[in-house]
A = this chain, B = another copy of it.
């Protein structure tokens, strides 16, 4: 690959990372789901032990949960191009949120959380997509760590 091709793949994958945050914070769940391939894997940062399998299951997480006002601050985006059709990435996510996205701004946040994502990106006919996105949370300050209910197998789907 030429340096220009490598740089182009880095740009495309970086953009996916930023779009995931934007669509998540904008509550645009359909656009968020469209960033993944059909047979994807996704693990939420606060519950990495229970990954979700398949674009529909990922879509449902965001669509069906109670909406919050969130801001996912994405940084430290490191992309490693594996081949013309595959790349890996690591990025940091710093998150603040509050209940009720329709209340007037600015809202007092309920804690600041710093985690990261490990990503696998693949090239498809419709451009680069997430194949795999595994989150975690390392540190927080203020607020408290939410306890997420363990999802059912119906919710997560199963590895193909």
A contact residues vs B (CB 8 Å cutoff): 3-4, 7-8, 10-11, 15, 18-19, 21-22, 46, 69, 71-78, 90, 92, 94, 96-98, 105-109, 111-115, 136-143, 145
Flag if B71 contacts A105 (CB, 8 Å): no
With contacts A78-B18, A78-B22 known, is A71 near B92, CB below 8 A? yes
- Chain A to chain B contacts (Cβ below 8 Å), 18 pairs: A19-B78, A22-B76, A46-B106, A69-B139, A71-B138, A71-B139, A72-B76, A73-B75, A73-B94, A94-B94, A96-B114, A96-B139, A105-B138, A106-B113, A106-B138, A108-B140, A112-B112, A142-B142
Flag if B75 contacts A74 (CB, 8 Å): yes
Distance in Å: Cβ of A90 to nearest Cβ of chain B: 7
Flag if B69 contacts A138 (CB, 8 Å): yes
Flag if B3 contacts A106 (CB, 8 Å): no
Distance in Å: Cβ of A82 to nearest Cβ of chain B: 16
Flag if B75 contacts A108 (CB, 8 Å): no
Chain B residues with CB under 8 Å of A3's CB are 4, 8
Chain B residues with CB under 8 Å of A111's CB are 141
The complex places the Cα of A3 from the Cα of B6 at a distance, in Å, of 13
The complex places the Cα of A76 from the Cα of B97 at a distance, in Å, of 16
The complex places the Cα of A13 from the Cα of B17 at a distance, in Å, of 19
Chain B residues with CB under 8 Å of A4's CB are 3-4
The complex places the Cα of A151 from the Cα of B109 at a distance, in Å, of 28
Residue of B whose beta carbon sits closest to that of A11:
B7
Chain B residues with CB under 8 Å of A109's CB are 114, 139-141
